[in-house]
Structure formats: C-alpha cells, structure tokens
Structure 1
Amino acid sequence: MAQTSPGLPAPTNSEPPPVQQEPTAPPKQGFSFNPDAGVVFQSRDFRVTAWGYAERAIDPSGSDYFRRFRHGAEIDLPRLSDSLRPAIVYEVDLTDTNFFGDFGGKGGQLGTRNFENLFIALQHPDDPGKFRLLIGENTHILSREDNLSSGNLPTINRSLILEEHGSVNSFGTQFGAQFQKAISDKLTLQLAALDNRGSLNTPDPRYSIGNSLSGKVILTPVNGAGRKLTIGAAVDRTGGIRDRVFTLATAIGAKPLGGVAATGNKLTGEADTAYTFPLLGHATTIEVEALYSRFSGSRSDVGGGYAMVQFSLFDAPRTGDLDLFARYDVVSLGIDSIAGRATQQAVRAGVNYNLPYTNKLASLHLEYAHNTLSGPAAIVTDYNPGDEFRIVLRVSLQRYLRH
C-alpha cells in the first residue's frame, strides 16, 4: 500500500521536481457500490461499508453444504484528525452460529456467538493498513491469510498446518488488542495481546487479554511493474492451554486422522513469503509458509508448511479470469511419550474461475487432494485418508483477486 509523504523537500539540481498529484475526488454521497469493498453509504465524513459472501461446496461422494455464508460491515465515524478516525467492525458467519435458529444466545436473543469478528478501532481514515489499533474479536496476526471476507477461498489459501492449529485455538478469531503500523512503504509492524483459549463465538468466552502475546514483521521490498514480493516473520507465546488435542485432518474435508495432546504453554514461530510476477505474459504467484509450535505441558510439537504456485491462464471480461494452481502441504506431529512421529502430506491441484461478466464477484472453484499419512498407531487413527474432490461456488460483494 503506497504512502504519500507530506512536506516533500525542495528539489535539488540532481533531483527531478516532485510529481504533482491530482487532488483526491470527494467521496460519493449516499449509496454506491464499490466492487473492491462492498455496498457503501456515505454521509459527509460518516461511512458504512457492508460486505457479504457465500461459498457452497459440492461433495460428489457426500452431502452439499455451505462452507461460508458471511455478512459484515465497517462503520467509519467522522475523523478526529487528518490521520485518525474511530471505527466499528463486525462480521457474522451464518453457517457457524445457527443465526436463524437460536440466535446463538439464550431465549432466542442475539448473542455474542453470532460474531466471528467484532471490534472497535482507531485507525487511519482512508487506509487501516497504515495504522490500526483495535480491541475486540479479530483474527490472529500469525495467520497470513485471514478468514475475513476480504480473504481468498480458504481451500486455496489455507494450509493444513494452519487449519489444524485452529483445533487448539491458536489461530482464527481471538479476543484482545491488536496494533498495526506501516513504518514505511516496505515495512509493517504488527503486535497483539490476545486470548487464544476462547473467543466470543465459543461456548465459554474468555476475556483475559495478554494470555497470548505475538508480534510480526512484514516486508515488501518489491512492489510495482506487475511484481510484488512480501516476506513475513512472526512469533507467538500462548499460556495455559488446557484440554486440547492437535488433530490431523484431511486437506479438504477435514476428516480426522489422529492427534496428540496439546496443552501448557505454546511457543510458535512462523515465516511466509509470496512473490507475484509475470511469466510468459501471465500473472503468477508463488507462496511458501512454514510454522513450528512446541507445547510445554503435553511435551508435544508440530511443524510443517506448504508451497503453492498459481498461474493466470487468461483474464478478460468476455472469457473470465481462470487460474490454475498446484500445491504441496506437509505436517509432522510428535509427542515425547510416543516413539516416532506422524507425517501427513497432501498434493493438491485445481482451478479457480472468476466467471465472465461478473467483475470477479462470482467464481467456480474445483480442487483435488491426494492425502497420505504415516506414523505410530498411538498417534494415527486412520491410515487410509483417501482422495478428495470438491466443487465450490462463490458469490460475493467483493471482487476475488488472486495476484
């Protein structure tokens, strides 16, 4: 995200004069639609942006289901200064909360379990990526691809190890405070004090801010001319994890395959990189992520990651936007009390097609995964995970961008 610097120095003989930028057009008042944001209502400096999307998964060997059916909004209150404004953000996942049933609370009342994300923030008026301080329910900063509606299809962009970390509440939505600051165009710092043992949308919410302390540095050394390189590194320390199991599960259907106890204090290190570049005139993105966690109470540990390449075959209004992708995931899980380790692998491939004339607001996703698993019987409960295939239809109020 490019930043402009106020008060440019006067040009010297060796410097060209600064380029005069066109003045920013005032925001459109009333209701409008922004395909990169959603439905927008603007009244002077007050703004509400609402989004929503649904993903319907078709399982040829089982029942169809909604993987996601979400609605959310950001309410931007009038700015306090040129660089700060307060905001309120919420998001509800209708598939997880039985929103149209018991409303997530007692007596048919609206309850906190409806909210996947719910926080108040003090942030940059036009770009929260430059600065945001929030308190409430939000995704964990170690997860590079978040689960907000601004994220991509989870089947493509979520690794086995990140999905499985959710089984010990190490990732996903957390309650607490987060801070993000773009130090420069190339460097962003993130800090968080959260509670990883529970969140607003769990049966037993917790509000002990500081149980999880984490930090992340994001570098963007290349960004321009069709190329972008992003590098991230993070660390998280979470205390007091109880009654949890780290569960191995298949790549697409999340079928349980085994697991070990994961309790005590967790120390996690994570690194990721993504590089987008033109290849034979087509946009291409390579992603790699690695993660390792050690649990002190159960004396267990898990490590792994993924590597993926996405290649844009074509992208035009008449033909649509078709990407091919292939990826490899691996997870290694062990515990000191059991000899040997369990190793799970998945080779995944498929296509994602933003449909013609939909401005990338509707897409068709096909993915195949070949799962393999080995290790001691004390950890592994199913040595035949089998192959998986899914067809996913997605409609959204925000364009699905992959590169």
Structure 2
Amino acid sequence: MIRRLDLRGRLATGERLDYRALVPRAELALEEALDGVRPILEDVRHRGVEALLEYAERFDGVKLASVRVPPQAITGALETLDADVRAAFEESIARLRAVSEREREQDTTVDVVPGGTITNRLVPYTRVGVYAPGGLAPLASSVVMTVVPAQIAGVGSIALASPPQKDYGGLPHPTILAVCALLGVDEVYAVGGAGAVAMFTYGVDGCEPADFIAGPGRISTVAAKRLVRGIVGIDSEAGPTEIAILADESADPAYVAADLISQAEHDPMAASVLVTPDESLADAVVKELELQVEATKHLGRIQAALAGEQSGVVLVDDLEQGLAVVDAYAAEHLEIHTVDAARWASRVRNAGAIFVGAWAPVSLGDYAAGSNHVLPTGGCACHSSGLSVRSFLKAVHVIEYDQAALRDVEPHVSALADAEDLPAHGAAVRIRFAREGDQPGD
C-alpha cells in the first residue's frame, strides 16, 4: 500500500544523504501543462468572453449564456445552505478573521536624522482575483481562506471564479456560492482553471483585470499562474497537497494513519509521508492504513495516492535525523507526534504549517483552526509562506527630507555617485543648493 525508505545506519557509514532528493516527491508534468495552457491564455486575451464560453462547453460540458453569476443565484445558494454547514462556515470565518486582524501590520516611520524620515506604508492591492477549485472536491473552504485575509488587508475589489458545474445548471458549486454570500462577495464568475487566470490577468468584458491572483487549483491552473506571473502577482504555484508526519514511539498509529489518509483523499497525486525512528510504529501505521482505507468513501484515489511515488514511510536513526529529513522535505503540512512535540516543532524551519501534538490534525487547519490552508507545496516552504494578510499588501517607502537634512547628506550622495560613475545623481542633489546661491556645507 505504501512504500518504505530505510535511511537507518547510512550516516554511520559516512554516506552523504541528500534528503531533499531521497524523500518521496511527486513529479509534476508542469512543462507539458505549460504548453497546454499557453494557447488558452492567448485565446482569452484576444477573444475574451467568447473564448471562455467555448471552453466552458468543451471542458465542463455546459453551454453558458454568460460567465457572470447572477446575484440571485449567490443569495439563493445561501438560503438553501444546510444550517449546520452554515454554522461551521461562520465559525471558520470568525476564527480566521480573529487571526488575520492580528496579522494586519501598521505603517512605521523612522526618524533617520533630524528632518529626514522614512515611512514604510502598507498598501492593499486595488483588485484581487480569487480562484476556488471545483473538480474532485468543491473547495468552498478555500473561499474563506483567500477572501478573509484580502478583506482584512483592505483590498477594494474582490472577484471570484470557480468552474461551472453541469449538475448545477452551469453555475459554480452552490456551497461555493453560499460562502461568497456569507463573505459579501457578489462578483462571481463561472470560469475554470486557465480561463479564470487569463480573465483575471487580461480582463474581459465585465471583468476588470486584477493586480493579484490567489487560490489553489489543479496543474493547469498552476501552469497558467506561472505564465502570467510578472503581469500580475500570484500567491504561489501550489501543487497537489502533501502531509509529512514526524513521529516517535509515543504516537498513536490510528491517529497517524487517519491523518495520512485525510490528505490522500484530496487527489491521486496527494503525498502522505511518515518519518519515524520507530519501526514498530511504522508497522502499526501500515496495519491501520489497511484497515481504515477500506472504510473510506474515496477508496480509489486514496489507494492511488498512498501507493504513488510521492508517498512513503521513511525510517531514520533518531528524531534528530527525522527533523533534518522533514526540514529538507519542507512539507505543506507537517504534524509532530512526539514526546515534547512543541520543542521539536520549535526547531522546524521549513513547513507551510506545523501541527503540534495529537490534538492538532491537519483537518483542523483545513477548516476551523483559525490558520490558513493555502500553503506552499512541492518543497517551496523553504522559501515561501502560506497565504495571509501580508500576501495582499505591498510595502511602499515614503521618503521625506527637509533642506537641512539633504544638505547634511549631500557629500555622501555625491561621493557614492562618483564612485559608481553616475555624476548626474550627485548633481541632482547639488542643484537644489546652487539655485539658492547656497553651497552645501556653508
């Protein structure tokens, strides 16, 4: 069901181990996907809505009159939303808002010298395009995770796209629409994948271009975001979901197995990795996997994910080596099931989000912890962060110097300008004093 990689004893022989290369990882056919989505981007750029309507019919099997979702469909979806599901989403929104409000940083001003100040001003994006997947699982929770921090950041205009669903008359999934209503998002489009990325990048009739695109998606969406990066900002190139679990003999094998399965449920390409120095635990987890997987609803995709090259059990000499392995892997989600789990978690440098102890499973973070579940995948957690309020802000330095402060620093500016053979830079400072008949330093 799940393969094993035994690293025990290899360091003692003097072998140098490249954990990043050794730990299971899915190979994404991104280059092939880039070739596939490039014509879609160009087509939408030049033909606009006409192209989007054709792609809806070709890819989603629906014939649409318009890609804009009517307001009454959004409010109607909320009216028919199950009461328990609504309550759960409202709690999820409240918890994420509480965390996001604390993330919102304030402008800072530094008095560099008397009369000379630098203000770091945080400016929200003017317009953001949000994508909510609707393939194997309609991720309405991702609407919460993307829209809430954008709203707290102060983004002025938020538009959302999600694929049209044949079973719902060409509208996005009703739960996605209901969450839009809960959040006050009324600009919604029934557009999927690369088409949505193109629409937000170039704009089409009725949909203005965005400054920034956020939200997870399948490989075609990831490829499209890579191609438009630079024209617009993007949150990340998030691929298939992944979980790594660092565990010792204190871990409950039933919990560990259940958490590995929870992420395998997303997609046949999802990655589930257990890192442990305890072979008995590994054996017990494998037995639990065999028992629990048979009882799951999405048996086929879970089995495919667990048996895939991207999943595995990694046996290590001790937790120190285990820590090195998970740091190199840089998982989207990392769980710590060890004695003194908080201490081990504090030493982790690379992870999208860290879940500490037996009572903090990834599923909690997916829905209602108050954390964000839009996280870096594919090892990108070594250099990237998950989505947050900061993702929707740009920093602008505002420089204010008075005459005396500029006069005082002029010799340094001129010296550096001459050193770089850019004399006009120095002259641009000196002319301000020459016009007054004043010389710097007088």
What TM-score, normalized to structure 2? 0.21
Q: Which one has the bigger helix percentage?
A: 2
What TM-score, normalized to structure 1? 0.23
Q: Which one has the bigger strand percentage?
A: 1
